[in-house]
Amino acid sequence: MPSIKADSLPGDGLRRLAHVLLRKLHHDLHAAAGGTHSGIHRARKQLKFMRSFLRLVREAIGDNSFKTDNLLLREAANRLASARRASAMIEAVAKMSYLTDGCLPALRQAAQADHDSQMGRNALSTEVTEALKLVEQVQRNSADWRLPRRDLWLYVKAMRRSYSSARKFLKLGWECGEVHLLHEARKSVIHQLHHLEIIRPAWPEILRPWQKQLQVLREFLGDLNDLEDMEALLDDQSSAFSRLEDKEAVHALFVKRRGDLVEGALPLAKKLYSETPETFALRINAIWETIIPPREP
């Protein structure tokens, strides 16, 4: 994904980046009209990144503009969600192959059956066309975004908000054992990951490995959410998962997989979110300001 350029003022760099991201998103949605898994996946990744960007400039553009454009981007993402969700179940089963359980072949067949059925029902080209219209509206709205050129703390506060949200929901999720809270945490982890990517030129030697560890945590949390979704399909009469014969063995497999994911995610989350939001913000401010050109005398 693109980043700001070194030696650019915060507002100038972010405005240029907004144009690049929206143009690329428009291009990827056109490419997704073919309905291929890879095309849909790229378009959804771009939509997530653009929504993270919007959070980064939220303090600058104001809550009204943020809410309007975030709603448009969320609706665009929802237009592509069903096709992606069907593919996610296939990927989730594939990631359990290391468990070598006897019910895995039946799970693979159910996931593939749901995928084929979903892809057959959806008029993907129509959904992509509607998503494209929504993104074009955001492009028009972006002309009114006012991004202060030098007010760095305005953008750092937005990064602090995402960090704080991830930290809060991770803590609550682990304490309560509620996957839906961890899913909320994952959303903010993704925003933080994207924010670090945006400012990566400020200190790539540190920010790049930081991003990699956030990506690992993101995948753990995403796999936990996919597992929860798959378990819900066991009771969904419209899904092939509901017709699996040995559901007791399937539940036992899910328990083992969930334990493995928590074992991997929990220590990593504690390391990545050990500092307070205030300390995090001060550190980001110190890193980012190193690439801001000085005021002219």
Assess if residue 80 is contained within a domain. yes
Q: How far is CA 165 from CA 106, 169, 171, in A?
A: 38, 6, 10
What's residue 127's pLDDT?
Answer: 87
What's residue 35's pLDDT?
Answer: 62
C-alpha torsion sign, points 149, 291, 20, 57: negative
Q: What is the number of domains present in the chain?
A: 1
What's residue 120's pLDDT?
Answer: 58
Assess if residue 203 is contained within a domain. yes
Residue 109, both tokens? 């067949």
Query: Could you tell me if 106 and 245 are in contact, meaning their C-beta atoms sit under 8 angstroms apart?
Result: yes
What's residue 119's pLDDT?
Answer: 67
Assess if residue 145 is contained within a domain. yes
Question: Which residues form the domain of 87?
Answer: 10-291
Query: Beta-carbon neighbour count of residue 290 at 10 Å?
Result: 9
Query: Could you tell me if 152 and 10 are in contact, meaning their C-beta atoms sit under 8 angstroms apart?
Result: yes
Residue ranges of the chain whose pLDDT lies below 70: 35-37, 119-123
* CA nearest to 48, candidates 195, 155, 147: 195
Query: pLDDT per residue over 32-78, tens digit each?
Result: 877 666 778 899 999 999 999 999 999 999 999 999 999 999 999 99
* CA nearest to 244, candidates 256, 230, 258: 230
What's residue 124's pLDDT?
Answer: 72
Grouping H, G, I as helix, E, B as strand and the rest as coil, residue 234 is coil
Assess if residue 139 is contained within a domain. yes
Assess if residue 4 is contained within a domain. no
What's residue 151's pLDDT?
Answer: 96
What's residue 284's pLDDT?
Answer: 98
pTM of the prediction? 0.94
Assess if residue 19 is contained within a domain. yes
Assess if residue 123 is contained within a domain. yes
